[in-house]
Amino acid sequence: MARRPLAPRRTGAELYSAAVAGLTAVVGSAVLAGWFFDVRWLRSISPEWPTMKVNTALCFVLCGIALWNLSAVNPTRRQAATGRVCAGLTGLVGLLTLAEHIWGLELHVDNLLLTQAEAGAAHPGRMSTAAAASFVALSTTLLGLRADSLRLAWLARAAGLLPGLLGLLTIVVYAYGVRGLSGVAAFSTTALHTAILFMAVGTGALCVQTERGPLSFLAVPGPGRDMARRVLPLAIGAPLVLGWIRLLGQRAGFYGLEFGLAIFAISNVVTFTALVWASALRLNRMDKERVRAALGAAQLAAIVESSDDAIVSICLDGVITSWNAGAERLFGYSAREAVGQPVSFIIPADRSVEDARVMAQVATGQGVVQFDTQRLGKARDLIDISVTVSPVRNATGQIIGASKVARDIGPRKRVEAQLAASFKETSELNANLEQRVRARTDELTASNVALHQSAAQLERQKAELERSNRDLEQFAYVASHDLQEPLRAVAGCSQILQRRYQSKLDAPAEELIVHIVEGASRMQALILDLLAYSRVSRGDHEPKVVDAGLAFRQAVAGLQSIIGETAARVTAEALPSVKADPGQLTQLFQNLLGNALKYRGSSAPEVSVAAKRSGREWEFSVRDNGIGIEAQYFERIFVLFQRLHTRNEYAGTGIGLALCRKIVERHGGRIWLESALGRGSTFHFTIPSGDSQ
């Protein structure tokens, strides 16, 4: 079954109109019933008060029907026709009655439905002049209620003010004292419920499409309406209440007519001044707020305009309603080109579903949505943006659109891409590096293993060498020791032969014997030296703290004969204590001093010995003024059997300095020399100090 569209709903004012229409028709009908069935309280609220006339009640029924039909939200033609007919009939009765009143005519409208009787009344069924005029005015209002012309509609509603005011006037008179009615002929026969219904129908008619009439200021939203709604009840009520109070005072005899009027006037002045004062304050405050709001709005507009971000607002159907300078820069379209266009013209086809989803979400008021996406620029290029979409609401909180704030994230995307690329590159480099490091580590491990192997091999070779050295030394020792005995025999025998057979043999034989003797003694010297050399490693004593001066003096004592022969001067400074094998230290001095004397120059030898501290050892020097040595032989002379001269020039075995080096190195020291040919030599050697410094 097809659903009928929902009928537009009545506003509060229109609901009031409908209620008034119903009430008027019901009360009118009740009064008619009161007349027909003679129910007095229905005709008049109090027995002393005037009754509502039959015509009046009939007219109210017609007015009620007219207002009911015409106050419908969209009256059908039938409703409008019914309403107008009823209104016309009311007007007709009013006009005829007015004519009777004004010109004293007898048109028989008073007893249309029923002849009424009222004591002392000339025309008991006739409504008052005020009531007749009010029905004419009400009829005008109802007839013009749905007029197309704005002016007519306004004038018709203005006419509705008359019955309203006349009704109010009558009610007030009733309130102040029903006797008041008798003073004014036009009102004298007006019933209280008549007055109430006039006021009700008059205001009810004004409430149909209020915005089209003089009371529009109460209907159209705005500061005027707010102000009027606040002030109006007081402006209407205050004078009525003040008038009533003034009357009460006067009746009680507190004051006379003039004073009472003065009090009434002054209290009205005070009330309205207070009203004006309060309204002025409120208006000023509202104006300030308005100015502040306008400033805020202007500031907001300036911020939006100067923002670097693109700020675009759209209504719910997707049409662009604002487009700031940032949007012009980002998308390339001017505000003139963009505003009024559907926002879809900057959305790429593949993003339209996403946009629709976001807009649906925003439209349900689910708050702000933020996401990264792409849009089309004027050059139809894709622009990377980050968008924040928020709902836009009107003053009543209803969502009327959305604002979109877009930021260009192209540069950020590019940097991210670069970073990703360089990260990839770095990762590759890292992987490469790791591979190389692994390869290098493998190589190093391999060479380490090789090194260990060669170190072990070296260790083995060293041990081998040491062993063969020991064997050699053992051999040299054994050989020189064991050779000594037969050599001694050869030397002894050859010397005996030389002594006994001297001058008994011929010259060649004697020469041979001399050779044998010399050879044997040379061999003895060589063997003694070798023996000394091979003994160094074994050492007679373990190194201990010894006086180097004593060792020097013992060496000098051993060289006394040659010192004497050569008239040499051998001196020494004060020498320190050192940690050494005493015998070997004496031998060291003896060898160096012996050489200094042997390789003397033309002048008498001068040999001096000195020592200086160098860290944890002592450095000794043996200086002479002998023949000197060329620098190229500085290393060679320390090698076993290496000599720089022939036996004819200088006797010797070539073992002395090799022995010196062996002794020094055994003590953990070094030996070296400074010399130049013909300018003497200085031999240096170091020996660990005997103290713990």
**How far is residue 286's CA from residue 235's CA, in Å, rounded to a whole number?**
21
**How far is residue 533's CA from residue 31's CA, in Å, rounded to a whole number?**
164
Name the segment binding ligand ADP (CB under 6 A); options: 104-112, 190-198, 577-585, 623-631. 623-631
Name the segment binding ligand ADP (CB under 6 A); options: 78-86, 98-106, 291-299, 619-627. 619-627
**How far is residue 635's CA from residue 632's CA, in Å, rounded to a whole number?**
7
Least separation in angstroms between residue 599's CB and ligand ADP is 3
Residue 356 has a CB neighbour count (10 Å cut-off) of 13
Q: Measured from the CB atom, is 187 or 685 closer to ligand ADP?
A: 685
Least separation in angstroms between residue 676's CB and ligand ADP is 11
Least separation in angstroms between residue 656's CB and ligand ADP is 3
Strands (E), 51-93: none
By CB under 6 A, is residue 152 in contact with ligand ADP? no
Q: Measured from the CB atom, is 188 or 566 closer to ligand ADP?
A: 566
Q: Measured from the CB atom, is 83 or 626 closer to ligand ADP?
A: 626
Residue 275, CA distances (Å) to 140, 283, 494, 525 in order: 34, 12, 166, 150
AA letter at 676: A
Judge contact between 371 and 381, C-beta under 8 A: no
Q: How many Cα neighbours within 13 Å face the side chain of 642?
A: 11
Judged by CB under 6 A, the residue of 137, 138, 627, 671 near ligand ADP is 627
Backbone angles phi, psi at 261, to 5 degrees: -65, -40
Least separation in angstroms between residue 624's CB and ligand ADP is 5
Residue 58, CA distances (Å) to 79, 105, 123, 148, 248 in order: 19, 21, 17, 29, 37
By CB under 6 A, is residue 70 in contact with ligand ADP? no
Q: Measured from the CB atom, is 130 or 629 closer to ligand ADP?
A: 629
Judged by CB under 6 A, the residue of 637, 663, 671, 687 near ligand ADP is 637
Least separation in angstroms between residue 622's CB and ligand ADP is 8
**Which residue is closest to ligand ADP by CB?**
652
Least separation in angstroms between residue 523's CB and ligand ADP is 14
Name the segment binding ligand ADP (CB under 6 A); options: 15-23, 67-75, 90-98, 622-630. 622-630
Local structure of residue 354 (DSSP, 8 states): H
Residue 572 β-bridge partners: 609
Q: In what order do the strands lie in the sheet with 369-376?
A: 320-323, 310-315, 399-408, 382-393, 369-376
Name the segment binding ligand ADP (CB under 6 A); options: 42-50, 158-166, 358-366, 641-649. 641-649
Name the segment binding ligand ADP (CB under 6 A); options: 146-154, 193-201, 397-405, 594-602. 594-602
By CB under 6 A, is residue 625 in contact with ligand ADP? no
Q: What are the helix (H) ranges across 537-648?
A: 548-558, 560-566, 582-598
Least separation in angstroms between residue 592's CB and ligand ADP is 7
Residue 372 β-bridge partners: 386
Least separation in angstroms between residue 528's CB and ligand ADP is 12
Least separation in angstroms between residue 640's CB and ligand ADP is 8
**How far is residue 626's CA from residue 650's CA, in Å, rounded to a whole number?**
13
How far is Cα of residue 151 from the mean position of the Cα atoms in its chain? 64
Q: Measured from the CB atom, is 21 or 637 closer to ligand ADP?
A: 637
**How far is residue 113's CA from residue 53's CA, in Å, rounded to a whole number?**
11
Name the segment binding ligand ADP (CB under 6 A); options: 81-89, 272-280, 301-309, 644-652. 644-652
Residue 413, CA distances (Å) to 193, 309, 386, 387 in order: 82, 17, 11, 15
Backbone angles phi, psi at 425, to 5 degrees: -60, -45
Least separation in angstroms between residue 502's CB and ligand ADP is 30
Task: Extract the tokens encoding 10.
Answer: 């009545």
Q: Measured from the CB atom, is 497 or 525 closer to ligand ADP?
A: 525
Q: Please provide the distance, in angstroms rounded to a whole number, between the alpha carbons at the two ends of the chain.
A: 121
Judged by CB under 6 A, the residue of 194, 595, 625, 689 near ligand ADP is 595
By CB under 6 A, is residue 647 in contact with ligand ADP? no
Of residues 211-230, those binding ligand ADP (CB under 6 A): none
By CB under 6 A, is residue 654 in contact with ligand ADP? yes
By CB under 6 A, is residue 629 in contact with ligand ADP? yes
**How far is residue 199's CA from residue 178's CA, in Å, rounded to a whole number?**
18
**How far is residue 125's CA from residue 111's CA, in Å, rounded to a whole number?**
6
Judged by CB under 6 A, the residue of 656, 671, 685, 687 near ligand ADP is 656
Q: Which long-range contacts (CB under 8 A, 24 or more apart) does 336-342 make?
A: 338/312, 342/318
**How far is residue 585's CA from residue 210's CA, in Å, rounded to a whole number?**
139
Residue 495 has a CB neighbour count (10 Å cut-off) of 15
**How far is residue 52's CA from residue 24's CA, in Å, rounded to a whole number?**
13
Name the segment binding ligand ADP (CB under 6 A); options: 56-64, 346-354, 500-508, 645-653. 645-653
Name the segment binding ligand ADP (CB under 6 A); options: 16-24, 205-213, 365-373, 650-658. 650-658
By CB under 6 A, is residue 605 in contact with ligand ADP? no
* DSSP H helix total and E strand total for the chain: 18, 12
By CB under 6 A, is residue 679 in contact with ligand ADP? no
By CB under 6 A, is residue 653 in contact with ligand ADP? yes
Judged by CB under 6 A, the residue of 186, 399, 644, 682 near ligand ADP is 644
Least separation in angstroms between residue 648's CB and ligand ADP is 12
By CB under 6 A, is residue 624 in contact with ligand ADP? yes
Closest CA to 619 of 661, 670, 571: 670
Q: CA-based angle 400:406:412, to the nearest 5?
A: 160
By CB under 6 A, is residue 652 in contact with ligand ADP? yes
Name the segment binding ligand ADP (CB under 6 A); options: 213-221, 328-336, 386-394, 624-632. 624-632
Which residues in this chain contact ligand ADP in the complex, by CB under 6 A? Answer: 595-596, 599, 624, 626-627, 629, 637, 643-645, 652-657, 681
